[in-house]
A = this chain, B = another copy of it.
Amino acid sequence: METHSQEKQRAAMKTYLECIPCFMNQIIRTGRLLNITEGDIYDLMAEFGAGLSDIEMHDPPPKTAISIYSAIAKRAGTDDPFRELKKESMLKALGLLPSLASRLERLPSPLSMALRIACAANVIDFGISTHFDLDKELERALSGNFGLWEEDVFLDALKKTDWVLYLGDNAGEAAFDRLLIRAMHKEVVFATRGRPIINDVTMDDALMAGIDEDARLVSSGSPAPGVILDMCDPAFVKLFETAPLIVSKGQGNYETLSETKRPIFFLLKAKCQVVARHLAVREGEMILARGKGFEHRH
């Protein structure tokens, strides 16, 4: 088995030139969302701009995001500036859950639809855009207009596994992950972020979503909007290294884990050109794709 320091050698997507203006736009959007003044937002941008020459371009973007969102949180005067917004989207998600669950129960094999719903829910992301239409995305999910979608390979891998490590992404999204977790009919360990970052799911959020009713909860310890193994809790790294199957939700987890050789499936919406290009899909497409390690196992 390889260690996570070996993993690091060929780790993950790097930061592309396009990520820099995207980070600038994220500062503007989230700054306004959090009612930070235009002047303070400009200061945050200037601060980020002044540090550009120190950015490691071979790092994945979520690593760079740590310092950006820490600075935003500091300026907003709280450790968890997205707390209320997370709660809001969580309540909306939980409100939709019962009708979706009973809809799934009536299907002969709900797993296929649960995969689509969990993927569509990835649209709940205040980092990339403050405007999203959850209902529309769910409708799209039900009509099934997807890009790269390796469902057969996933179902085959799922059949052969005892348990699944499930890497959560955004807080509101996590409520919908419950549907997929149930539909998989396997032991599931659900991993949260180590602490609040943007609107990503923390242990508190996961408990609010009631995921503990369907899975064992664990904190990855990651301070990033992604899974950076070098920054994770050793106990989580061990889980990651031994899990027979990993489901990775969202773009941040893809950006940090795209090169891993572990048996991983990425379930996400490709929300930007850079990630879409890396996946060889079109921006906006829904993706269920096996990781590089998975191909090696076959």
Q: Give me the interface of A with B, judged by CB distance under 8 Å.
A: 17-18, 20-22, 24-25, 28, 38, 41-43, 45-46, 48-53, 57
Contacts and interface: CB of A to CB of B under 8 A. Distances in A.
A49 to B, nearest CB: 3
Interface centre among A17, A53, A57 (most CB of B within 10 A): A17
Contacts of A49: 20, 48-53
A273 to B, nearest CB: 11
A53 B46 contact: yes
Contacts of A51: 49
A220 B37 CA distance: 38
Contacts of A41: 17
Contacts of A20: 24, 45, 49
Which 5 A-B residue pairings sit nearest by Cβ, starting from the closest? A49-B49, A21-B24, A21-B21, A46-B52, A49-B52
A40 B225 CA distance: 29
Nearest to A22: B21
A42 B50 CA distance: 13
A15 to B, nearest CB: 10
Contacts of A43: 53
Given A17-B42, A20-B45, A46-B53, 7 more contacts: A21-B22, A24-B24, A42-B57, A43-B53, A49-B50, A49-B52, A50-B53
A25 B20 CA distance: 9
Contacts of A17: 28, 38, 41-42, 45
A42 to B, nearest CB: 6
A99 to B, nearest CB: 36
Nearest to A57: B42
A132 to B, nearest CB: 18
A34 to B, nearest CB: 14
Contacts of A50: 49-50, 52-53
Contacts of A38: 17
A42 B18 CA distance: 10
Contacts of A48: 49
Nearest to A42: B17
Given A18-B28, A38-B17, A52 B45 contact: yes
A21, A38, A41, most chain B CB atoms within 10 A: A21
